[in-house]
Amino acid sequence: MKRIFLSFLLAGLLFTAQAQVKFPAASPAQTIKQDFGLGTLEWSYSRPSLKGRQLYTDLAPEGKLWRTGANSATTLTISDEIIIAGKTIGAGKYGLLTIPGRKSWTVILTRQTNVTSDPAVYKESEDVVRINVVPVASKNSVETFTIQLANITPTTGELQLAWGPVIVPVPLKTNIDGRIMASIDASIGSDKPAYFPAASYYLENNKDLDKAIAWFEKAAAAQPKAYWIHYQHAKALAKAGRKKEAKAAAEKSMQLAKANNNDDYVRNNQKLIATL
């Protein structure tokens, strides 16, 4: 009797151990959060791999609605409004669907966040935006499906869908200049003006260069050892064609950078001086 009981006990332990075996997912899930404009973008999806199969036939069939990933629905969460194909998309969570094609992909942002492998669930009436995107050739074949934000500037970027031999670049924009300019005006008029970030924004976005230079001067006066401020001041002076002053500001920045063992800024200033 004891032997029978022991056999059942061992079998039970073996079954429990087997039930707890965990394997890597065939299409691992990924969630990425990326700063963009004044907010963030976050996309969640599962990443299938080619494994010798072909795009458009074996996987993501051409002309058919695709969840843009595997397993669960692919979603894009926007914290601050963005612009796609000229349409402003408000903050919220959206489903990201596609209809793959060799010459053109249809990319869909929908209010639905539950469209997985059953295309019958999809309702075109829930579309927020629909855009046709021409795929471009990838330099190297991408084995595992990848969604990434690339070519980022303060106001633009590309949400790239990369798989196999192609990349599908979805252009994104933000309309934030007016809001930033208003915040700069408010800051400059306050008792604690943010001169350096205001001047930097003016410099990088081709605003009033004289104002930028004046604000860099005030920022440098408040932080005379801040080599990064002197460097930006030098760039603004160089852009204004004031080469002699730009060289003096760059040499000051380089001297301070050397004292702080910052080789990057030493090199940056050397390159700037070489152009003057």
Please tell me the predicted confidence (pLDDT) of residue 3.
Answer: 55
Q: Which of 3-17, 22-36, 79-93 has the lowest mean pLDDT?
A: 3-17
Residue range 40-68: average pLDDT?
96
Q: At what angle do helices 263-274 and 243-259 cross, to 10 degrees?
A: 160
Q: Quick one: CA torsion of 108, 110, 115, 119, rounded to 10 degrees? A: -50
Average pLDDT, the chain: 93
Please tell me the predicted confidence (pLDDT) of residue 193.
Answer: 96
Integer Cα distance of 27 and 46 in angstroms: 6
In the chain, what percentage of residues exceed pLDDT 90?
Answer: 88
* pLDDT of 12 above 80: no
Please tell me the predicted confidence (pLDDT) of residue 211.
Answer: 98
What domains does the chain contain, in order, with CATH numbers?
29-173 (no CATH), 177-274 (1.25.40.10)
Integer Cα distance of 47 and 74 in angstroms: 10
pLDDT digits (tens, 9 = 90+) for 119-135: 899 999 999 999 999 99
136 falls in which pLDDT band (50, 70, 90)?
A: very high
89 falls in which pLDDT band (50, 70, 90)?
A: very high
* pLDDT of 15 above 60: no
Instruction: Determine contact, residues 44/30, Cβ cutoff 8 Å.
Output: yes
CA 244 to chain centre: 39
Residue range 164-169: average pLDDT?
97
| Nearest of 168, 143, 172 to residue 157 by alpha carbon | 172
CA distances from 50 to 15, 46, 142, 264 (A): 34, 13, 9, 41
Find all residues with CB under 8 Å of 13, minimum gap 6, and list them. none
Q: Indicate the residue type of 24.
A: P
In the chain, what percentage of residues exceed pLDDT 70?
Answer: 93
25 falls in which pLDDT band (50, 70, 90)?
A: confident
pLDDT digits (tens, 9 = 90+) for 189-248: 999 999 999 999 999 999 999 999 999 999 999 999 999 999 999 999 999 999 999 999
Please tell me the predicted confidence (pLDDT) of residue 84.
Answer: 96
Token digits for 239?
């852009």
Please tell me the predicted confidence (pLDDT) of residue 154.
Answer: 86
* pLDDT of 24 above 90: no
Q: Which of 20-34, 107-121, 228-242 has the lowest mean pLDDT?
A: 20-34
* pLDDT of 19 above 70: no
Please tell me the predicted confidence (pLDDT) of residue 261.
Answer: 97
